[in-house]
Structure 1
Amino acid sequence: MLIETKLRPPHLRAGLIARPRLIRQLDGALSARLAVVSAPPGFGKSTLLGQWIAALKGRDAAVGWLALDGDDNEIGRFLTYLVAAIQRADPAIARQVPVMMQSSPLLPVDFVLTSIVNDLAQRSGPLFLVLDDCQFLEAPEICRFLDALLTYAPACLHLVVATRGPLPFGLANMRVKGQLINLDDMQLRFSLDETESLLNEAQAMDLPMADLVTLQHRTEGWVAGLQLASLSLEQRAARADFIRHFSGSQREIAEFLAGDVLDRQPPEIFAFLVESAILDRLSAPLADAVLGRRDSATLLRAIEAANLFLIPLDAERHWFRYHHLFADFLRSRLAATRDPAAIAALHARAADWLSANGFTSEAVAHALAAGEADRAAALVEDCAMPLIMASHLNTVRAWLARLPRDLIARRPKLQLAEVWIQFHMSRPQEGARTLRAAKRNIRAAIAQGSLAGAEAEAMLAELRTLTAGVISAADRSRSAQAFIRQWQDQVPESQPFFKGTIGNILGFCSLSLGDLDGARLASLRARDTHAAAQSVFGVVYSDLILGLAEKAAGNLQGAAELFARATQQARAELGAGSYAEAMVAIFEVELLYEWNDLGAAERLLHQHRQVIEECGLVVHEMACKLHLARLAAARGRHDEAMAVLERAERLGIEKRYHRLTAAALNERVRLLLKRGDVGAARYALLARGIDPEARRPETRRPGADLSPSTEPEYLALARLQIAEARPQAAQRLLDQVAEKMRADGRLRRLAQVRALSAIAAYRAGDALSALAAAVDAVAICAPQRAMRTLIDEGSAMREVIDFARGRMPSWSGDTPAGSYIEELGQFCERAERAPAPRGGRRADPDFSQRETEVLRLLSAGHSNRDMARALGMAPDTVKWHLKNIFGKLGVANRTQAVLRLQQIGLGGEAARG
């Protein structure tokens, strides 16, 4: 008697993620003899085939299904079920076979094959036969039968097999004939879109994009890993923390991998997997050296054939790595089953082999893991600069963090490597201190004669390069520019990386001072030098500055092309997800946002956000935070946007990076005024020392000149003046700013200024000036399809556009300007229909009951500890409520919050409760 469920495709539960890309690939089986779906456990092979079968049946296709198990590795049982599966697709095929198999004293294998082939030859339409879990088939007679079936069956038969391991028949001949379709684990992995559909749509988890990206990276799109993670997430409150630490040692993942994978392996495979897991990548010679074996090549072939989460890294299959979660799981098993001294010995042997074979960078990690600090320090000195030139800053940072501080303090090469990290991590003050210490060590070494010649020359060039970088990172562009010009020509030609880096720093300084031509010239020269030095990082950074110059000039298409060139080179040379790629991508987000492609902007931002926040210059972190706030506001999440901007302002003050503080202030004032909170906007300016009654925003800094870093303050002040019914004052202020931008050729920001000028003039009743400013703004934005510059100014901008449209014949009809205005109007209308942010001109912020209790104690002057004790909360919970309260009030600290409450008339009420 047959088990009927073995002959049915899997039940497709509701909420499965559609995979049209893979379904289309499987549809290629219509023109192929064999389709193979091969992947480790948990990659959704059976589910995918079930979805495809359902689609085929919807087209009236003939489909047979057989789910195999260990008992089917016997020729008689296998043929019985195979014939039954074929007859489910077409009852006319092999009708006499069951009787013959029951009555014949010997198994009639040839009769079965002949009957199936001859009956198939009578069919006019295709027949699909799916064999699921083919890894159970090992018997030689079954292999011979399937080989013969594929050889002699007519073209109407399409065999589809799913397997975790090697197939029981050869594929080489079919590949040559083009009769094979193969889907492996690389194609079966969930994309980020599919991960989002699974977790946020099908399972309604409502995870932010940053968490989705982290899970996607940790699981590498492994479907079972994502599903197991989601089961754990359902039971946890601190989801972000769980996701951040998600690994193969998590209980659910570990149980799955132990029960379904590792415990089924022979002892020698088990031992090899566990001990080789210390290696981030492995080859047969390396594994032999580390594990003391001679058969690693054979074992690796067996592991790969068994689909045990082993991923080849090259076409020749010399190098491999384990899936991230599988590697985590194996390492946890290693720690649980081996003595620490034995594990350290494995790492020491790995360091020996890698160092001897020229893989210095990988040897460092193993020397550190083996506890050999001096050896690790020497290795870091040898490979830190090549890694920095390739943008692998996080790797160098991790190594330095594990070395003893006194050891670094004695080695100036390590100190300079640390400055590179501090420079790129927006820590210029720390960088300056480390530079001074390194300078003392270098001078002492030169005086003692232990450092001389070309080595001394190179270290001095590196020292000066980093000095320029640290000055620039501290937002002192003019000082950095002067320092570079003083000795730029003295950089030896033998040090092209330092020469190119100096050029890039000079290009960035020129850009930040509004000198676009100077930025282009310096960056083009730097790019040539970096190309000679074969520094991918340097070339990418040169292209980034060139792109930023085009963006500032209003040439968004040109910027996009330069960014794309930089990204392509970073991926080609460094692989996907590098720091070099991230620092370009964070500015590509701005272009996508400007073109109103919010979904693509959010995805790209969250894909690279973590890298930038961990290791990025202030300018990159500044862009990241501003994009987060703008996207949140565009999606209607105004409280979130305000909180991000408040953090950005604090960061700008902490890092002494004035352009970040000013840019965040301008965005915060815009959002406060959008929700009608004029008082909070005025207070935000006052809190930054800007007097709204003054004619210039530099009241706090007498004699300061208008510059790109202070311009956002002018815009914020003009916004407030418009909101306070002083549009003529705003006009005068904005005209002053526009004149400087126009002279510099910085049209992107000029478009924003002219949009505000148009609103101010329209509110002042100055129709001619409003029309001129609106025409200016549209003339800059329309050719580049720039949308958000005008959309973000809200209904006031739409009023001006409608006013100007009736007076500008070129803005109607099928003209380029007309189509742009039409599209802009549609976007503006949709944005206005979106839920408006809470608040009005005098509306009180909406506080929860718990926030009201915190406010009462805050107004009465209680400390965080007092509040926690009085309300029975943890101190961190009090901090969380205060952060939300500050965001709603639009303030940065406790004092400002109390003043703001008094200003809106809630101070006494809050204190009284």
Structure 2
Amino acid sequence: MKQHQGTVQGPAAGEPAAARTDHDNFVDAPPDFRFPVVRTRLMADLAGRALQRPCGLATVETLLSPHGWGKTVILAEVFRAWRRDAGLPGVWLGLGYLDDDLDTVILQLSRQIAAWVPGMAPGLTAEHGPIYGVQDQILRPLLENVPLPFLICIDNIDNCTESLAPGALDALFDTAPPGVHFLLTSNRSLGYDRVEAMMRGALREHGTTELAFADAEACEMLGRTVQALGPEVLPALLERAEGWAAGLRLVAMLLDAPAGGAGMLSRFSGAAPGLRDWFDRKVLAAMPPQMHRFLLFASLLPSFEPGQVGKVIGAGDVQKHMDSMLAQGMFIVPVAGRCNRFRMHQLLRDRLRAEAEQTVPEPERTAFCREMAQLAAEDRLWDEAISAARSSRSDGLIAQVLERAAPSLVRDMCRMRYFVEVVDELIAAGVPLGFETRYWHVFALTFYLRHASAGRHLEQLRSVACGGDAGGCSLVHRIEHLSVALAFLRDDLPLAGRHARQWLESGHDKDPFDHAWVLSVMAAYHLTAYRFAETRDCLWRARGLAHEVRSPYLTGWCDLILGASYLYEGNVFRAREIIDQALARAERALGADADLCDLISSVASKCAVEAGDHEKARDLLARALRSMHKHGNVGTSMCAVDAALQLWDGDEHDPVFLRLKSVVPRYSFRLRLMFSCYLIRRLVSLGRVADAQAEAAAIGLDLAEGRVRLAGGELLPRTRDIIAMTAIELLLGIGDSGTARKLAEREREAAEHDGRALRQARLELVLMALARQRGDDAEAANRLRTALLLARRRQMVEAFRRHRPDIDALLASRAFGAEHFPNPDDRAFLSRLLAHLGIEEPGSSTESPRPADAGVPLTGRERELMRLVQSGLSNPEICEIMNLSRNTVKWHLKNIFIKLNVPNRTVAAMVYSE
């Protein structure tokens, strides 16, 4: 942990982007208030103690009261003083009114905190749904590395109602090391051990007594209202409102109304609950009837655009009244990121909606919601359109809007989970649905391991299409596209390939999205058989169609398969480049929480492992594993399983290992088999040969043939290859070198024939190890040289790690060295690889530096980098100027040091000249 020194201007990775979920349920910055903020005693106390050195806040401080007591205003001002005035590190998390479980809240919180931790990408920890060990494995390591002191503000923490059981918050607060402080607001009592926390000074609670406005504070808030009525009004007003901030504003509005005045106070009840009763009945009496009517209708919507609502109900200039309400803090809140769109404070909306349902005739409400839904649909604001349609309580309208929204929600916006939830509710209610809604519902179901349900709905849809009019043939053709998707996501790739070929060869007109999706499935089918040219041809055609329909999901899916094709081929550098770009584009288009980003992260984690970047691989795995229990995609999940087990240290209580063991059984036989194979290989590398043999026996692994007897039917080529490599490595582990060599030679020839460099390099290393066992260092050196030449252009380094002892021995015996590589780029790769493996290159540490060899010139990028080094810039500064990652800069510097024959950047800066 690092103690904070001076001020911190921003997070290590920049300020986090606005947090998005399916419901926009989180906000990562305090709201902007349109009214003058009164600095209350409690606000001053909290801000003053927060900015003391050392920080005077308790570990947890809570503002606890019903709605309307100004909790959010106080929290926001303390946070702004902390961040803006003092420049101290901290995060804000505002919870919406839709319930969220505590795990989801912690994951969102972790995502924002990660921006303050050097080397941690801020988008890595956001997810929907549970993940094993979220507090201990994600939040705790982050909090142990944030700069101190660190402030965490959570507004409306009680909105995660489902998980706030006794003990849940105790565990959360116990996660925080000294110097990390929580400042929370809640509308109800929270479930944690107050007595124990207060006894050790870790908790301070602030209720309505401290939140209540004092005379001077109320006078400042009310301003000219009190001045016009006279000072004697204020005590009566405070007595009636009991310091309730919302009540004070409401009373002031009534007093400012034409029929208001000091005499109006005598008609109030003396208690705050009475004032709230009055609010239910009379608050809008202070407003023009037109504005009252406007707000009644607006309360039917989760958010609204004033001009649209006013136009639909025939109201005049509502913006003037809106401005007045915003200036007075009257429960109207701007929606973050949406121009001129607002939502009501829940306190106001609950009461207005109840009044609207009682006083506005249902036909009028339905007509309003219908028109608002249609306006939103015209603007392609599908969430708003569906919300308005559902508020109308008209099944027909909901079905109509869904019919229009379905293609965009599923294929363009990747909102499959949200769409499935809505449609499932309508199906359960017996609402008749249109063809497009049902069609895209089946498509979305296939992505969430709901294959039986998808198959049932697909048959119903096929029956409807076959029994229809003359256009039925066209509909049946579209439905067959769903058969391709269902077979693919059931992991029956041979069947998916046959369906896809038949569909592509048919003479029917093809929807561009359907056409692109089937081509992508065909590409994935070719890829499993290592038909790389056919794979890329299908993807080239599919990507053009995806661009035509402007589907970021389909574009990202095609890029994922393309990156995987380079990974399978062995070109890790190109695969990583494609996958990193695909992930960045998908995040921009769909949001970092999209399931597609998790799929891409699975392949990216495998790329990072093969490149030897374990820290990056672990970060990507955190994203890959979070939704693996939902999507059921075997190809991407295999990448995540492989990467996770390569990084596994053998601890069977490790959360990642436990998560894999809980999720993998939900998948098809192929992934379960691959998990066992990767596990066997990792156990062998960890020296646990007996455990590996037991696992091999459980799956029926035939070591001599490199096959699994339990597998029914024909295995895909990639599956067969992984089984064969598992047998080879286990044979090596048990000392059966003869059988291992025979099998390895057979597989190496096949890999070379198929042009699969990564597999060939791995098998060359196996044969190197076998040659070393026989004492044939000459053959071992040749095998190692071949593997290095295969790996160099592809940045493959991880394959060499398990053979480190043999490589070290060959170098030490002088049977192998840099002289085997006349090409300077090959020598540079060897040096980088040895540094990665922690092997000292012979004769590399004591030679004196010399100027650059004219025969080995620096590249243009290397010359640019050296000019920045000579100017005294640090690596992070060079990264920013050249728009490169830190690993890339280190890579270039290592290469430069080789070419200049220098040990470090200081000497390089001294000897380099252009």
Same structural fold, with TM-score higher than 0.5 when normalized by the shorter chain: yes
Q: 2:13 & 2:675 partners in 1: Cα distance? A: 47
Normalised TM-score (structure 2):
0.59
C-alpha displacement at 1:682, in angstroms? 0.9
Indicate whether 1:354 and 2:373 are aligned.
yes
Match of 1:395 in 2: 418
C-alpha displacement at 1:279, in angstroms? 5.0
Give deviations 1:289-348, integer Å, cap 9, x for gaps: 899987764566567778999565558x32357xxxxx9xx5588669975994998899
Give deviations 1:670-694, integer Å, cap 9, x for gaps: 23223332222111111112234x4
Indicate whether 1:523 and 2:539 are aligned.
yes
Matches within 5 A, 1:431-830: 431-444=454-467, 446=468, 449=469, 452-453=470-471, 456=472, 459-490=475-506, 492-493=508-509, 495-607=511-623, 609-611=625-627, 613-615=629-631, 617-633=633-649, 639-640=654-655, 642-647=657-662, 649-652=664-667, 655-656=668-669, 658=670, 660-692=671-703, 694-701=704-711, 704=714, 707-791=717-801, 793=802, 795-796=804-805, 798-799=807-808, 802=811, 806-810=815-819, 815-829=824-838
Q: 2:636 & 2:770 partners in 1: Cα distance? A: 32
Contact 1:283–1:320, Cα closer than 8 Å, also in 2: yes
Q: 1:236 aligns with which of 168, 183, 188?
A: 168
Q: 2:401 aligns with which of 379, 387, 394?
A: 379
Contact 2:526–2:532, Cα closer than 8 Å, also in 1: yes
Give deviations 1:219-244, integer Å, cap 9, x for gaps: xx99311997999999538969999x
Give deviations 1:518-542, integer Å, cap 9, x for gaps: 1100010111122222222222222
Match of 1:264 in 2: 245
Match of 1:135 in 2: none
SS in 1 for 2:738: helix
One-letter code aligned to 1:710: R
Contact 1:276–1:287, Cα closer than 8 Å, also in 2: yes
Give deviations 1:591-646, integer Å, cap 9, x for gaps: 23333333333334434643554346333344344444444549x78744543443
Match of 2:51 in 1: none
Give deviations 1:809-855, integer Å, cap 9, x for gaps: 34689944444444434443499xxxxxxxxxxxxxxxxxxxxxxxx
C-alpha displacement at 1:572, in angstroms? 4.4
Compared CA separation, residues 351 and 801, structure 1 to 2 (3 A): farther
Compared CA separation, residues 23 and 805, structure 1 to 2 (3 A): closer
Compared CA separation, residues 642 and 617, structure 1 to 2 (3 A): closer
C-alpha displacement at 1:443, in angstroms? 1.1
One-letter code aligned to 2:8: R
Give deviations 1:480-534, integer Å, cap 9, x for gaps: 2222222314364461111111111111111122111111000101111222222
Q: 2:825 & 2:747 partners in 1: Cα distance? A: 29
Q: 1:674 & 1:493 partners in 2: Cα distance? A: 54
Match of 2:307 in 1: 285
Match of 2:58 in 1: none
Q: 1:686 & 1:421 partners in 2: Cα distance? A: 38
Q: 1:761 & 1:782 partners in 2: Cα distance? A: 22
Contact 1:589–1:604, Cα closer than 8 Å, also in 2: yes
SS in 2 for 1:708: helix
One-letter code aligned to 2:816: R
Match of 2:8 in 1: 19
Contact 1:813–1:819, Cα closer than 8 Å, also in 2: no
One-letter code aligned to 1:824: L
C-alpha displacement at 1:413, in angstroms? 4.0
Q: 1:225 aligns with which of 154, 158, 170?
A: 154
Percent of pairs with identical residues: 15
One-letter code aligned to 2:772: Y
C-alpha displacement at 1:424, in angstroms? 1.8
Aligned-residue Cα RMSD (Å) equals: 5.5
One-letter code aligned to 1:285: G
Q: 2:674 & 2:503 partners in 1: Cα distance? A: 33
Contact 2:334–2:340, Cα closer than 8 Å, also in 1: no
Contact 1:491–1:499, Cα closer than 8 Å, also in 2: no
Compared CA separation, residues 612 and 674, structure 1 to 2 (3 A): closer
Q: 1:498 & 1:194 partners in 2: Cα distance? A: 41
Matches within 5 A, 1:857-868: none
Give deviations 1:346-380, integer Å, cap 9, x for gaps: 89955641234424543324444665444323322
One-letter code aligned to 2:504: Q
Contact 2:758–2:796, Cα closer than 8 Å, also in 1: no
Q: 1:788 & 1:512 partners in 2: Cα distance? A: 22
C-alpha displacement at 1:401, in angstroms? 2.6
Normalised TM-score (structure 1):
0.59
One-letter code aligned to 1:686: A
Q: 1:256 & 1:366 partners in 2: Cα distance? A: 38
C-alpha displacement at 1:745, in angstroms? 2.1
Bigger drift between 707-716 and 413-422 goes to: 413-422
Match of 2:269 in 1: none
SS in 1 for 2:439: helix
C-alpha displacement at 1:663, in angstroms? 2.8
Q: 1:289 & 1:257 partners in 2: Cα distance? A: 43
One-letter code aligned to 2:747: V
One-letter code aligned to 1:404: I
Q: 1:287 & 1:774 partners in 2: Cα distance? A: 73
Contact 2:611–2:798, Cα closer than 8 Å, also in 1: yes
Q: 2:564 & 2:819 partners in 1: Cα distance? A: 31
Contact 1:583–1:616, Cα closer than 8 Å, also in 2: no
Contact 2:732–2:740, Cα closer than 8 Å, also in 1: yes
C-alpha displacement at 1:584, in angstroms? 2.5
Compared CA separation, residues 816 and 495, structure 1 to 2 (3 A): same
Compared CA separation, residues 209 and 435, structure 1 to 2 (3 A): same
C-alpha displacement at 1:724, in angstroms? 0.7
Matches within 5 A, 1:194-205: 194-195=113-114
Match of 2:385 in 1: 363
Contact 1:759–1:796, Cα closer than 8 Å, also in 2: no
Q: 1:404 & 1:677 partners in 2: Cα distance? A: 52
SS in 2 for 1:731: helix
Give deviations 1:156-197, integer Å, cap 9, x for gaps: xxxxxx9959x9xxxxxxxxxxxx999999998898474586
Contact 1:514–1:744, Cα closer than 8 Å, also in 2: yes
Compared CA separation, residues 630 and 237, structure 1 to 2 (3 A): farther
Q: 1:420 aligns with which of 432, 443, 455?
A: 443
C-alpha displacement at 1:383, in angstroms? 1.5
SS in 2 for 1:681: helix
Structure 1: 5+ residue stretches without partners: 1-12, 27-38, 44-66, 72-161, 168-179, 215-220, 322-326, 832-913
Compared CA separation, residues 195 and 572, structure 1 to 2 (3 A): closer
SS in 2 for 1:741: helix
Total equivalences in the alignment? 651
Q: 2:367 & 2:528 partners in 1: Cα distance? A: 48
Contact 1:210–1:606, Cα closer than 8 Å, also in 2: no
Q: 2:324 & 2:88 partners in 1: Cα distance? A: 17
